[in-house]
Amino acid sequence: MLQQYGILFGLIIGVIGFALSLFALTRAVGKSRQEPGKDVPATAGQLSRDPVWVRYHARYYGYALLFLAFDMEMAYMYPWAVVYKEVGIVALLDMGVFLLILFLGLLYGWSQGALRRQ
């Protein structure tokens, strides 16, 4: 049992060591030049007229919530597809309830106008 933790600890140390060695290599090989244009916020090569720290309009939060709902659907569908063969009809009913809840979220977003073009 402790051997597995030793392997995991060794992998963690190896990954951290690899990342630090890549960082040290880039610092040693690459030269850093100070240019005045590097610190200026620009969009597509042009200076920005608006301040950099702007707030997004509240209508985008609806899009973000709908994206999150469908993203979670896909994240849970893959493991469910693997387990479905073993569990059977119970897994099918569980996924039906899950999809119904997400569908209700979609209907709510639709009723609030989140799917309308702005």
pLDDT tens, position by position, 95-108 = 899 889 888 888 88
Higher pLDDT, 85 or 38: 85
Residues 20-36 have a mean pLDDT of: 86
- pLDDT band at residue 118 using 50, 70 and 90 as cut-offs: low
Per-residue pLDDT at 92 exceeds 70: yes
% pLDDT > 70, the chain: 81
Cα separation, 70 vs 99, in Å, equals 10
40 membership: H or E segment, kind and range? none
Per-residue pLDDT at 21 exceeds 70: yes
pTM value? 0.45
Please report, for residues 10, 27, 28, 32, 108, the alpha-carbon distance to residue 35 in angstroms, rounded to integers and kept in the order given: 41, 18, 20, 9, 50
pLDDT of residue 61: 75
Per-residue pLDDT at 43 exceeds 70: no
